[in-house]
Structure 1
Amino acid sequence: MPHTKDELPDVLYSAAQVRALDASLIAAGTAGFELMQRAARATWRALVRQWPTANELSVLVGHGNNAGDGYLVAVLAQRAGWSVRVLAVGDPQRLQGDAASAHAEAVSEQVLIEPWTAQSGLRGIVLDALLGTGLSGDVRDPYVSAIAAINASGLPVAAVDIPSGLCADTGRILGDAVHADLTVTFIGLKVGLFTGDAADVTGELVFNDLQADPQLLNGTAFTARRLCIANLPRLVSRAPASHKGKFGHVLLIGGDRGYGGAILLSAQSALRSGAGMVSLSTRPEHVSPALSRIPEAMVLGTSSANQLMGLLEKVSVLVVGPGLGQAGWGRSLLSTAANAPLPQVWDADALNLLAGGQVDLPKGCVITPHPGEAARLLGVSTADVQSDRPAAAHALSKKYTAVVVLKGAGSLIAHPDGRLALCHQGHPAMATAGLGDVLAGLLGALLAQGMEPFDAACLAVWLHANAGEQQGKLGRGLAASDLIPAIRQLLEEQAPCLK
């Protein structure tokens, strides 16, 4: 997602919460039309910064407050000498309140305003001021046709507050959505701008609080916290006399026949992320390759779950699932792990077996499903999960009394107490096998070093996503193992080992 500057607030709101903030600003003495003018000025400044040589603007407006913003941007552009045309998709006669006042100002400035038709040509920069954050159901005509025309135009596109058709609460495209190159959003960041389909339609995001009183913002309920360097949990520095016994012993369980690489990636990730000791329980035929690749790990060739019993008494954290499979071997190992009173990370086939009712999840675990696994765990479709990712993350956390990492674009971390964190970093080059195995091992290492599950999940997801973003800049062909040295470097930058 091209959020190139991390200058955004870390608090994310629902559409209703932002509307409440807007109402509070008005109640505190800022006129609604003044807020609209501030939004228009913020949008105009962002347009000029983004396209400094442009001199032509096509504004598509509906009949809500978004339209009011659009009319006022058109006024500013015309005053600056641009060639401006407003195409009214919604009937201007339906405008009310501040939006009607904005339309009247555009009329008084002699801005060209025409009804939009399928034959209306678009020119210059296209400003999407069609639909705002109040949209709940799928987009209907004539907006469907207008959105299609914007997307087919090939012109630069800026969206006012949110790309039309994107749900502000869930990040789901409601039938169709404007694909913006720039989105200028106001007062409070909407959670839907950072997860689900948002990455494909938002473009670069610019935020303006419209001079809102910080105390008012700080006292308002919010939906999620956006992970950024300023609010990340941190590992404490190590004392000079530290030894391996102080930083945990991670046991990784998995790697059935044909899946040995997955558990090796997890083990390598745990080792390079600071675990004091790493043990690996896998199929006997994988022992030699594991020792060859990770000589620092203690590798147990495991034919039956009974062989785990002694080892479970010596370790502090379990990572279960990468390459585990769903056959008898994996089921028996998972069942044994489930009875161990240890912090645990469950991933991959451990989650599929959990969804199938094969085993119960111990309390205090971290689970790391991708959307398909999340759907199986909830007994719904993958589309249902993706249609409201925040709700799915909360539902999983409550159902299993676990910290949940719902992976995907805009990964979410949910705690059973209702906390929700979001990580929007990443890169499309990360769409490759094995990255989840790396994340599971990283999580295990952070737990082993004493972090609480929610904090460990937040830090692990951020490190993983930013390492992927860093390595993804090299382009296609990213391998999961490429992330491991990048994670180590980022972890040291974020929390140095030695003071």
Structure 2
Amino acid sequence: MNPQTELLDLAGLRQLELAAEADGLPLMQRAADSIANWVRRHYPLASRILVAAGPGNNGGDALFAACRLHRAGYVVEVLLPAAGNAAVQSALAEWQALGGQLRSDLPREIPELLLDGLFGVGLSRPLQDEWLQLVQALDALPCRKLAIDMPSGLDAGTGQPLGTALHADVTLSFLCPKPGLYTAAGPDHCGEVIIDDLACPTTLWPPHAGTLALPDAAPLRRKRDSHKGSHGVLSIIGGAPAMTGAALLAGRAALAMGAGKVFVHPLDTGLMLDPLCPELMLRPWQANLQIPDNHQLVLGPGLGLSDLAHAALSRALAHPGPLLLDADGLNLLAVDHALQQQLLGRRAATILTPHPSEAARLLDCDTASIQADRVAAVRELSRRFGCVVLLKGCGTLLAQYGQPYRLLRRGSPSLAVAGQGDILAGAIVALLAQGLPPLDAAHLAADIHASAGEHYAEQAGGPIGLTATTLLPLMTRELNRRVSLAGVPLF
């Protein structure tokens, strides 16, 4: 149990709060201490601070923090737009006993820091009217902003703004991480995320719904007495005419991530060699092509939607070994009930790696519905198809039915270019071929892929200009770093 990495759903979080209350833990006072301590570390005394306090417990945290900062010597103004619950009233009485006044509107003098304590994790419906206008006005202030628990207006479970949401520079979140901090629009609203568990004993925690923790890379350590057959064999099926590059990228990624041997079976029968990566063994796809049972399969990169592609998918689903479906492999699956039944009958592991639009086709809905609740979408995909599912996007999510879902914190807009999905598909199956379980292989490969994108942005001074091929040596370096640190927790 690690409070920095375990994700609770809203019901679990409420259960934890009630358990802490029953145990006599003063969570609100600890939260106020945490907020005040952060401010003291980052702002000198006499700095001007505007505290926006809402009507719920989030507002109580903010008001008690305002009291501490006022006593410490900061110039604190409090905006309290509406009467609050009992916790807010208690904090308000302390504030007024200190001689503190309340504002009904924004100050003319711009503060150096805004403490956003309007709404936290309890917000469940879109902001409207005066509340929406207030959050928009606070968001427009030209000062740094510290969000308490969650930026006001941001859904803690989905990472989607409820009408509108504040853009914070820093979010100080309490007890545990929430998925909305890391997925969908969350990262663009939260800025730097800090988790403070408020010294809540782990014995009080209910079972977690998800995790940020990464799998250990220890199984990828290599013996000196090894050979190419020790590290797995892959076959990649795809590469229809005019789309052969996708299959080649997947093959190159598999080699870069350590697969022992990689075969590429392009549907374009005119492709016989990858001149930039002659290590790839190209055998054009034919209806009578036999793929050995011990091969790990990738089907989808550049596959197309032809009758030949459909037949290849049916053959792949009958393969007795592990299979990853991506791109047009998913699009063909989405519209063919017979193929779906074939998938459900597979005994070997299957991994699906959709982006949101592909996920929408698989669930027969629209992309907006997927993005509205990405956690629910990835869990439903895993349940419906009986597969390990990796849902791409900001805050990539992974699920295997019956297990806690997994969420990636890393990522970069540098990866938003063509070919990155093909790279990820080859990388996942390369790790699978080297012995990682399917969920761990998908998780670790996705995190290495995301980390390499971050490294590129750091080295290039920004996210623009990354190509899929350029990413491969960065991924190899990151994988070797993870293996060398195997046994040391990474999250």
Under TM normalisation by the shorter chain, which class is it? over 0.9
Q: In structure 2, the residue corresponding to 1:235 is in which secondary structure?
A: helix
Amino acid paired to 1:447 = L
Rounded to whole Å, the distance in 2 between the matches of 1:498 and 1:286 is: 43
Instruction: Look up the SS of the partner of 1:301 in the other structure.
Output: coil
Equivalent residue for 2:416?
Answer: 431
SS at 1:252 equivalent = strand
Matched, 1:318 2:310: no
Distance 1:233 1:406 in 2: 22
Whether 2:476 is the aligned partner of 1:488: answer yes
Partner SS, residue 398 of structure 2: strand
Q: Are 1:324 and 1:349, in contact at CA under 8 Å, matched by a contact in 2?
A: yes
Equivalent residue for 2:261? Answer: 277
Q: CA deviation at 1:233?
A: 4.9
Q: Which amino acid in 2 is paired with 1:87?
A: L
Among 227, 237, 240, the residue aligned to 2:224: 240
SS of alignment partner, residue 283 of structure 2: strand
Please name the residue that 2:75 is paired with.
Answer: 83
Structure 2 distance, partners of 1:121, 1:376, is 51
Q: How big is the shift at 1:244?
A: 1.4
From 239, 248, 259, the counterpart of 1:255: 239
Superposed displacement of residue 237, structure 1: 2.1
SS of the equivalent of 1:471 reads: helix
String of CA shifts for 1:12-62, please: whole Å, max 9, x gaps. Answer: 1123322221211121122xxx32121111112222334458700111111
User: 5 Å matches for 1:100-499?
Assistant: 100-116=89-105, 122-217=110-205, 220-228=206-214, 231-284=215-268, 287-288=271-272, 290-302=273-285, 304-306=286-288, 308=289, 310=290, 312-313=291-292, 315-357=294-336, 359-360=339-340, 361=343, 362-363=346-347, 364-473=349-458, 474=460, 475=462, 476-496=464-484
Secondary structure (helix, strand or coil) at the match of 1:291 reads coil
Q: CA deviation at 1:238?
A: 2.0
* Structure 1 residue 167: Cα displacement: 1.0
Distance 2:235 2:249 in 1: 13
Aligned pairs (5 A) from 1:16-95: 16-30=11-25, 34-52=26-44, 55-91=47-83, 95=84
Q: Is the 8 A contact 1:250 1:277 kept in 2?
A: yes
Compared CA separation, residues 236 and 430, structure 1 to 2 (3 A)? closer
Q: Distance in 2 between matches of 1:144 and 1:53?
A: 32
Instruction: Give 1:190 shift.
Output: 1.5
AA at the equivalent of 1:332:
A
Give yes or no for contact 1:394–1:418 (8 Å, CA) kept in 2: no
SS in 1 for 2:446: helix
Measured against aligned partners, the alpha-carbon deviations of 1:255-310 in whole angstroms (never above 9, x if no partner) come to 1111111111100000111111100001445524x4312211110123x322x2x2
SS in 2 for 1:293: coil
CA distance in structure 1 between the partners assigned to 2:389 and 2:468 by the alignment: 21
Give the aligned residue type for 1:445: A
1:260 and 1:235 map into 2 onto residues whose CA distance is 32
Q: Take 1:380 and 1:225, find their aligned partners in 2: how far apart are those partners? A: 27
Kept in 1: contact 2:453–2:471 (CA 8 A):
yes
RMSD, aligned CA = 2.1
Q: Which shows bigger deviation, 351-360 or 146-155? A: 351-360
Question: Per-residue deviation at 1:176?
Answer: 0.6
Change (3 A) 1:255 1:186: same
Q: What letter corresponds to residue 143 of structure 2 in structure 1? A: L
**In structure 2, the residue corresponding to 1:207 is in which secondary structure?**
strand
What is the rounded CA distance, in whole Å, between the counterparts of 1:164 and 1:54 in structure 2? 26
Map Cα deviations across residues 76-116 of structure 1 (whole Å, 9 max, x no partner). 2222222211111223xxx2322211111011111221223
Q: Does the C-alpha gap of structure 1 residues 494 and 113 become closer, same or farther in structure 2, counting only changes over 3 Å? A: same
Q: Is the Cα contact below 8 Å between 1:74 and 1:111 reproduced in 2?
A: no
Q: CA deviation at 1:332?
A: 2.2
Distance 2:8 2:301 in 1: 35
Write the deviation string for residues 438-458 of structure 1: whole angstroms up to 9, x where unpaired: 100001111111221111111
User: Which residue in 2 is equivalent to 1:3?
Assistant: none
Amino acid at match of 1:338: L
CA distance in 2, matches of 1:214, 1:415: 25
Letter in 1 for 2:73: G
User: What CA distance in whole angstroms lies between the structure 2 residues aligned with 1:85 and 1:404?
Assistant: 48
- In 2, distance between residues paired with 1:8 and 1:262? 40
**How high is the TM-score relative to the length of structure 1?**
0.91
CA distance in 2, matches of 1:23, 1:338: 48
Counterpart of 2:31 in structure 1: which amino acid?
A: A
Contact 2:114–2:146 under 8 Å retained in 1:
yes
2:88 to 79, 95, 99: 99
Aligned equivalents of 1:469 and 1:144: distance in 2? 34
How far residue 246 of structure 1 moved from its aligned partner, in angstroms, is: 2.0
**Number of aligned residues:** 477
Structure 1: runs of 5+ lacking an equivalent:
1-6
**CA 1:314–1:169: 2 relative to 1, 3 Å:** closer
Contact 1:182 1:205 (C-alpha < 8 Å) held by counterparts: yes
Give the distance between the partners of 1:388 and 1:246, measured in 2 at CA: 41
Equivalent pair of 1:233/1:456 in contact (CA under 8 Å): no
Residue in 2 aligned with 1:4? none
Check whether the contact 1:48–1:54 (CA below 8 A) recurs between aligned residues: no
Q: Percent identity?
A: 37
- Matched to 1:136, the amino acid is S
Q: CA separation in 1, counterparts of 2:478 and 2:177?
A: 26
Q: Secondary structure at the match of 1:305?
A: coil
**1:227, CA displacement in angstroms?**
3.1
**In the aligned structure 1, how far is the partner of 2:47 from the partner of 2:485?**
53
Q: Residue 296 of structure 1 aligns to a residue in which SS?
A: coil
